[in-house]
Amino acid sequence: MFQPMFPGVPAIAPTELDAAAPVPPGTTLLDVREQDEWDSAHVPGSVHIPLGDLPARYGELDPDLRVLVICHSGARSARATQWLTEAAGFDAVNLDGGIVAWARAGLPIEA
């Protein structure tokens, strides 16, 4: 059974996603890593807003869509998920294990 790394923060494991369409319809994939991390590899179609910029830039996200948040290993995305749900009122979920777990699950990444 899946146990999230950060109890109390909504989370999903990459292995729970559909490999054929890992970003479900009606969902925005938000990458909160730094620019150099994004440049080295990211998920196709994801939106890039570094964690430190999120409070100023969250208005770029559609509040009617669920937000799946990803970082390197899941810690920054957990903080972003918590902030988005508690402070900004979004339906957000952390991708447990981050892009490392995403890649291990064989899901698509581009440089």
Q: What is the pLDDT of residue 111?
A: 86
Residue 1 lies in a domain: no
Q: What is the pLDDT of residue 30?
A: 98
Q: What is the pLDDT of residue 8?
A: 86
Domain limits at 59? 11-17+25-104
Residue 62 lies in a domain: yes
pLDDT tens per residue, range 62-81: 999 999 999 999 999 999 99
How many Cβ atoms are within 10 Å of 39's Cβ, its own excluded?
A: 11
Q: Which residue intervals of 9-105 are DSSP H helices?
A: 35-40, 54-57, 75-86, 98-104
Report the CATH number at residue 71.
3.40.250.10
Residue 31 lies in a domain: yes
Task: Look up the pTM and report it.
Answer: 0.94
Catalytic residue among 71, 80, 101, 107: 71
Closest to 77 (Cα-Cα) out of 59, 96, 90: 96
pLDDT tens per residue, range 36-63: 999 999 999 999 999 999 999 999 999 9
Q: Is 71 a catalytic residue?
A: yes
